[in-house]
Amino acid sequence: MSQKRVLTRSGLPGPAWHNERMAPRECPTRHARRARAVLLCAVVCLLAPSAVLAQQRPLQTQDPEPIGAGQVLVGVGFDHGTDVLFPASGLAGSLTRVPVIGLTFGISPVADIEVTGGPYQRLGITNRYFAPLAGEVTATGDSTHSVVDMSIGAKVRLLGEKATRPSVAFLFSTSLPNAKHASGLGLNTTNFFTGFAVGKTLAGVRVAGNIGLGILPSPVDGQSQNDVLTYGLSLAMRVGRQVEVLGELAGRSSTRRGEPPPGTGSRRSVLVGARYLRGAMRLDGGMTFGMTEMDATVGVTAGVSWKFRAWTL
């Protein structure tokens, strides 16, 4: 049987990976969505009253400030996004993850350990495309599910914030291959990320930025990898005494020439949201707007987090 080429959602052919006939359909362009997402982020950035503390969920961008020695931060929430593509398996549809769990442990005044993941994610399948691992997917109906890949990492603050400089921290993490090929939702690879976080409060606005490198093995042959540039920029502004308005642009950029291994390509999304503060607890919510094929076209996220002292160092 002759090899078929992967049909991307833009309707353009990708590399010849899989020889099983699926049922490709064309999907609309994202230029209008990108412009709308950038505009929404700019609107959020114009709202500015007073300073806030280190950022946590629903933002992806890490603030360099640790949570404090002996402190534990627990976050629980859910994510839902539409029109999500999994290039390795060829599945596309609406993805729900619940609960999404994050645990941060303050192991010293300058260092944290963070663990994130979740027991359940479900994809409502709306389309199937030619893909290299489509033949390994066991789901034959209109949905599939699996656990969420666990991520374990650490943050070490190198410089504290002063009037003339931002705070700076070193970050590293690894994601584990908990979601398998059979579900169509996992790459079954172990990824490594490292980088730096900077943060500064400017005119009452907390600004955090991340830059780093990710090493993503190929889920197809196991002999190659894609190195990606990771980045993030977030703003958090206090509106009144208990509400924060949030804006963020985060993603990764493939450095590979030509077509990257499936599932390791560039990603980019904008988040617009808010947090409600009440004592040690925070309620959060937001909307996300994807700017690449692997990101949800539109997504929602909501959750709660609270911090408490677990031990004394």
Q: pLDDT per position in the chain (313 positions), as tens?
A: 333 344 444 443 444 343 333 444 444 444 555 555 445 444 443 333 333 344 589 999 999 999 999 999 999 999 999 999 999 999 999 999 999 999 999 999 999 999 999 999 999 999 999 999 999 999 999 999 999 999 999 999 999 999 999 999 999 999 999 999 999 999 999 999 999 999 999 988 999 999 999 999 999 987 899 999 999 999 999 998 899 999 999 999 999 999 999 999 999 999 999 999 999 999 999 999 999 999 999 999 999 999 999 998 6
Confirm whether 98 is domain-assigned. Answer: no
Task: Give the pair of three-digit tokens for residue 179.
Answer: 């979601």
Q: Is residue 172 part of a domain?
A: yes
Region of residue 179 (left: phi > 0; alpha: psi -120 to 50; beta: else): beta
- CATH number of the domain at 232, please: 2.40.160
> Which residue spans within the chain are E strands per DSSP?
71-86, 91-108, 111-128, 143-159, 167-175, 191-202, 205-217, 225-239, 243-254, 267-278, 281-290, 298-309
CA 134 to chain centre: 24
Whether residue 245 lies inside any domain: the answer is yes
Q: Is residue 279 part of a domain?
A: yes
Rounded Cα distance between 116 and 99, Å, is 11
Does 15 reside within a domain?
no
Residue 245's contacts (CB-CB under 8 Å, 6 or more residues apart) are: 44, 47, 236, 237, 239, 273, 274
On the CB side of 272, CA atoms within 13 Å amount to 15
SS3 for 280?
A: coil
Separation between Cα atoms, residue 64 and residue 197, nearest integer Å: 5
Residue 113 inside a domain? The answer is no
Question: What is the span of the domain harbouring residue 209?
Answer: 31-71+149-309
Question: Does residue 14 fall inside a structural domain?
Answer: no
pLDDT at 151: 97
The Cα 298–Cα 82 span in angstroms is 6
Geometric angle at alpha carbon 291, from 287 and 296, rounded to 5°: 50
Pair 91, 137: CB distance under 8 Å: yes
Angle, vertex CA 167, rays to CA 165 and CA 172, nearest 5: 140
- The predicted pLDDT at position 56 comes to 82
State the pLDDT at residue 55.
Answer: 52
- If one counts the domains in the chain, the total is 1
Q: Is residue 5 part of a domain?
A: no
